[in-house]
Every structure is written in structure tokens, then in C-alpha cells.
Structure 1
Amino acid sequence: MTGTRSAVVINPAKVTDLDGRRKEICAALADAGWPEPLWLETTPEDPGCGQTRQALGEGVDVLFVCGGDGTVMACAGELAGTSVALAVLPSGTGNLLAANLRVPSDVLDGVGLATRGQRRRIDVGSLESYCFTVMAGIGFDASMLEATSDRMKARIGPSAYVLAALRHLRDRPMRLRIRLDGHPAMRRRARTLLVANVGRLEGGVELLPDALPDDGLFDVAVLTPRHLRDWLALAWGVLRRRPVVPRMETFRARRVEVIADRPYPREVDGDVIEPAATLNAVVRPAALWICVPP
């Protein structure tokens, strides 16, 4: 059989019936006239980077990623700058990139999306050795993610993030110096700073509704609530999609450099990384091909 060569990078921890999922994907590809894909499973030691490099070495045209945002992030970092397209098959609890690009959650629909050939170039962000497609952050958001266990996410879904957030509402603010595209630094006392490629959060909340994944720019959000009433006003403004949200400033930039008064928790695409007093991100415009709906 001839046809488009593909590989599947799958996180076994995110799939309850691994054999069933493999048969499902292979059958859908066969129906589309594609040969059987290279099948590569992630490990606790390698979340997808080595598997993606192996697939690239085999000369695949499309890489299916079956896992959560962490698996997608690992694979995207290796695919950025190549001509190989990423096809997301959401299987984790977050799947924020898929949600922002309106990628279907059903596996067969996701396979069909890739085999029909609709492609789009999107930007990716670089932060130290990390690549991100959704957003990176320092402060409250990373603390919330760190306090949210996989067990709670599996049991109650997005509500697990709300419970975790309540534990950190009274954390002290960060003292930040923020430099955008080399301009003079701004000083802020903030609870969190987000560098976003897309604007939709867990539960469908549109924090940055004007953020576009292919405009060559980050959307930067600086949240500065001081009291519980500030948090409530901010949340209400976001939920109502107000043009001006209390206690939130937004900017756009290609390069973001942040220096904090001390190390704070940080995250990239929903994965907590090592705490630090810096968050320096650069956009890579149109670096990643991805399969998307028309």
C-alpha cells in the first residue's frame, strides 16, 4: 500500500485501552488509503521528544499525537521548523491547543481531519529549552497547576483547577520588571504573568479573546489583583468578555523578558517547570504545521 507516511506518538498513561486505540487509528488510516503508521509510545523518561525524532528519521509526513498538552508540547518542539504536520488526537485532561484550534475530541474525527489534508502554520514560543504552543506563565497560574493532581482532574475535571486556585488566592504578589521587545522595563506588582500564543483557558474561558496563533506575536497578560474582591471583579470581567478587565493589563510583543524579586513557580503549556526568577520567551513565527478544521 502506498500513501502518506505517518507515525503515532501516544502516551499510554492517557489511554485506557491501548490496543483498542491502536486498532481504531490504524483502521481509520487504512480506510483513507494510508499505510499502517509507525507506533511509538512515550515513557516517563521521554514524554515524546525522542519518539518524534525517530519518526522524523523515518521520513514521516504527518505525526499524530495522542496524549495531553505535555505530550503535544514535547512533540511540537521537535517538529517546529520542519515540514512535517502535527495532528492532535486529544487524550489528556487539558488539550488546550486542540480546544483553541477547534480540533475535534473524537479520535476518528481527528484522524479524518489529518487525512483530508487541511493544514495551517502556527507560531510557537521558545522559553529556555522549552517550546510551547499554548502559553507560559509565572506565579499564580503555575502554583495552581502545581496544586492540581492528576487524580483530582480525572475525578472532577476542570473544577479541580478551581479548588487548587482557592488555595493560592492570598499568596503575596510578585515584584516584576517586564521588558517587551527591548523597550524600557515596566515595574509591576502582579499575581501572575502569562505569555500566550492562544487565548482560551480550561473550561472554555477566553482570557485573551483576540489572541491569534499565527500573527507572529505573543499576547501578554499581567494580572494584578490585591484582594478577593479584585479577583471577583477580574473573573467577572473575563467571563463577560469586557473590553477592559479590572486588574488585568494586556500587551503584544515578540520577545518578553521578565525578572522577578525571587524565584517563583513557572509553567509551560500546563506543565510545571523548575521555579526561577526569570521568564524569557521569544516567538517563532509560523514554525509549526498543524492539521486543523477548515
Structure 2
Amino acid sequence: MIEIHFIVNPISGHGKSPLTKSFLEPYFVKNVHHLTVKHSAYKKHAAALTKDSITENAAIIVACGGDGTINEVASCLVGTDIPMGIIPMGSGNGLASNLQIPKNIRKALAIIKNKKSIKIDVGQINNRYFFSNMGIGFDASVIKHYESSQKRTLYGYLNACLTSFRDMGRNRNLEVRINDMNQLVNPFIILISNSNEMGYHVSLTPKASLQDGLLDVLIVSRINRLKMLWFGILILLRKVYWLPEAKSFQTKELYLSKSNGDYFESQIDGELFEITDKNLNISILEKSLEILVP
């Protein structure tokens, strides 16, 4: 019997998850697959459930939710030989979209049943993992406003973007040093990507790949409100590099250090985090997560 465990976030997306054992069983073969369904109840619960599933000898563990749920499940599977499946049920679904995993549940379940897998790279920030991207500045501000709005829709995301544009125009006190570069004061955004999508098909690093062994870095120094609006248009056009203040490069490792403030306000795979470490060592772990794909 193939043990398949589903880790379900019941409040992902619009909070109407149909994933129960009775719902899932008709999509699998009765005498071949044995299904276990677990529902998370709070933040980090999905990680705890995944660890339990590992000790219970699950052959496949499926993350059912948005990028935050996927991060919790995948973080437990890095470096193991247990493949992860994805049922995208969140609002953005950046990683699933990059991997061409459909939101249609029947089609996503067929991918899990077929068991075709690839190995993808994983980003690491000190002792944390990320699979799509992590960022400081504008994108972290967007996530903060998005989470506080409680509107998990494209409209809610766009509204969070507009609020962040207003906030980023105010005086901010952040000094960051990147590797051996000159010190940046109040950078507008620092984005480190492993995947080429951030959710809602938005991309600031369209050339990023999950399998090239490199991180794609975008740095935009502080800009005025007019250029912020132009930046927003360039995001839609996927031409961010047209902005003179935008610098991009690829690397296997990146060091960030701040000289002031209590923490880095950051987003990691679309979830807001306050990282209290003064220094961040960001690196790539090549092909260290096995994942089921079409």
C-alpha cells in the first residue's frame, strides 16, 4: 500500500476546503493507496503534522493550501526522499503556478497519483527555508497589509499594493549592506527569488528557475512616489529592469546586514516574518526537495 498523507489548511483561499477522506478516496485505487487526511488548526501546525507523517512512514505528503502551508510542509521534507505533492488552495499559489500544477482539484490529484517527480532547489535564510522567494521592503509591506485586510482576493492584493506605495513614500530608517557593495540607505525593495512567480502571476524575476542552482536578486534603491507608480506599471509589463534604480544579478549566496532597527521586516513565501537576526546568510541548496509535477 502506498501511504499518502494530505496536510490541509482548511482556511486557505476562501476557506471552503472540500478535502476529506471520503472526498479523496474515489480518485485513488482502493487496494493500492491508503489515504490519511490531517487538518491544520493554527500557524506552524502544518509543520508539526508533517513531522508526524514522516515518523508514520508516509510515502507521499501532500500540502493542501497556499504558499505558507506549502512552506511549512516542504521545510520538513528538505533533504529527505519523501516527495511532496501540492493541491493549490491559496490565493496567490506562486510555487504551484511556476510548476504548472493546476488549481483544478481533480487534475492536481491526478499528478499525485501519477507520481512523476523532479528535484528543485531550496533557498535558505540562516535557519529558515524558502521555496519561491523572500523579500525586504516593498513586498514585505504588501504582505503585511494583505494579511491585515483579511481579503484573500486579487482585489485585496492590489489594495495592499496601493497602501504600501503610500507607506513607502514616508521616511523610513533602514540601512542594509549587501555583500561587499556600498551601503544602501532605505532600499525600496530587496527581493531574492528561487521561483519566477510571486503569486497572481506577478513576477519581478521572470528568468528565475527552480533548478538552475542560483538565486535571482533584485535590488531597487529608494525611489520617489512617481517612480513607484512607474515601477508598478513595469511589474505588469514584466520590464522592471527598465527602471534605472533596479539592479539584478544571480548568485549562490548573499549576505545582508543591518546597522539599525530591531528586526528585518520580511516576507518569506508570501508570509510576513520579523527576523531578529542582525545578519542574514541567504544561500541555495541545490535540488534538495523532491516534488510531484505534471
- Is TM (by shorter chain) over 0.5? yes
**Contact 1:85–1:119 under 8 Å retained in 2:** yes
Residues in 1 aligned to 2:43 and 2:184: alpha-carbon distance in whole angstroms: 38
Work out whether 1:23 is the aligned partner of 2:22.
yes
Q: Which residue of 2 aligns with 1:89?
A: 87
Identity %: 23
Q: What is the SS of the residue equivalent to 2:143?
A: helix
In 1, distance between residues paired with 2:140 and 2:59? 35
CA shift, 1:208, in A, is 0.8
Which deviates more, 202-211 or 163-172?
A: 163-172
Distance 1:269-1:19 versus aligned 2 partners, 3 A rule: closer
Q: Which runs of 5+ in 1 are unaligned?
A: none
Give the TM-score taking structure 1 as reference length: 0.88
Within 5 Å, which residues of 2 pair with 1:1-294? 2=1, 4-14=2-12, 16-17=15-16, 21-30=20-29, 34-44=32-42, 46-148=44-146, 149=148, 151-154=150-153, 156-172=155-171, 174-179=174-179, 184-189=180-185, 190-242=187-239, 244-246=241-243, 247-263=245-261, 264-276=264-276, 277-293=278-294
The answer to whether the 8 A contact 2:92-2:198 is kept is no
Higher deviation after alignment, 130-139 or 34-43? 34-43
Deviations 1:74-102 (A, max 9, x none): 11111010111111101122221111111
Q: Which amino acid aligns with 2:157?
A: P
SS at match of 2:28: helix
Residues 278, 266 of structure 1: alpha-carbon distance in 2 compared, 3 angstrom cutoff: farther
Q: Are the aligned partners of 2:67 and 2:269 in contact in 1 as well (CA < 8 Å)? A: yes
Q: Counterparts of 2:237 and 2:141 in 1: how far apart (Å)?
A: 25
Q: Secondary structure at the match of 1:111?
A: helix
Partner Cα distance (1:110, 1:128) in 2: 32
User: Partners in 2 of 1:131 and 1:191 — Cα distance?
Assistant: 23
1:184-217 Cα offsets, whole Å, 9 max, x none, are 3443231121111012223312211110011111
> How far is the alpha carbon of 1:66 from its aligned partner?
0.8
- Once the two structures are superposed, what CA deviation does each residue of 1:40-76 show, in whole Å capped at 9, x if it has no partner? 2212153311111111112222111111111110111
SS at match of 2:183: strand
Q: Deviations over 1:7-27 (max 9, x none)?
A: 001112227455654432222
Question: 1:203-247 CA distances to partner (integer Å, 9 max, x unpaired)?
Answer: 312211110011111111112241122123323333333383312
Distance 1:105 1:124 in 2: 23
Q: Secondary structure in 1 aligned to 2:168?
A: coil
| Distance change >3 Å, CA 200–CA 143, structure 1 → 2 | same
With over 3 angstroms needed to count, the CA separation of the structure-2 counterparts of 1:210 and 1:157, relative to structure 1, is same
Measured at CA, do residues 150 and 6 of structure 1 come closer, stay the same or move farther in structure 2, by a change above 3 Å?
A: farther
Partner letter of residue 285 of structure 2? R
Between 1:147-156 and 1:227-236, the stretch displaced more is 147-156
Structure 1: how far apart are the matches of 2:289 and 2:54? Answer: 14
Give the RMSD, CA atoms, in angstroms: 2.3
Mark the CA change 1:242 to 1:167 in structure 2 (over 3 Å): closer, same or farther.
closer
Relative to structure 1, the CA distance from residue 245 to residue 278 in structure 2 (aligned partners, 3 Å threshold; closer, same or farther) is farther
Q: 2:181, 2:154 → 1: CA distance?
A: 43
SS in 2 for 1:89: strand
2:255 partner amino acid: E
CA distance in 2, matches of 1:266, 1:195: 11
Judge conservation of contact 2:256–2:281 (CA < 8 Å) in 1: yes
For residues 10 and 20 of structure 1, the distance between their equivalents in structure 2, rounded to whole angstroms, comes to: 7
Please identify, of 101-110 and 150-159, the stretch whose mean Cα deviation from structure 2 is larger. 150-159
What SS class does the counterpart of residue 151 from structure 2 fall into?
helix
**Counterpart contact for 2:132–2:198, Cα < 8 Å:** no
Q: Which runs of 5+ in 2 are unaligned?
A: none
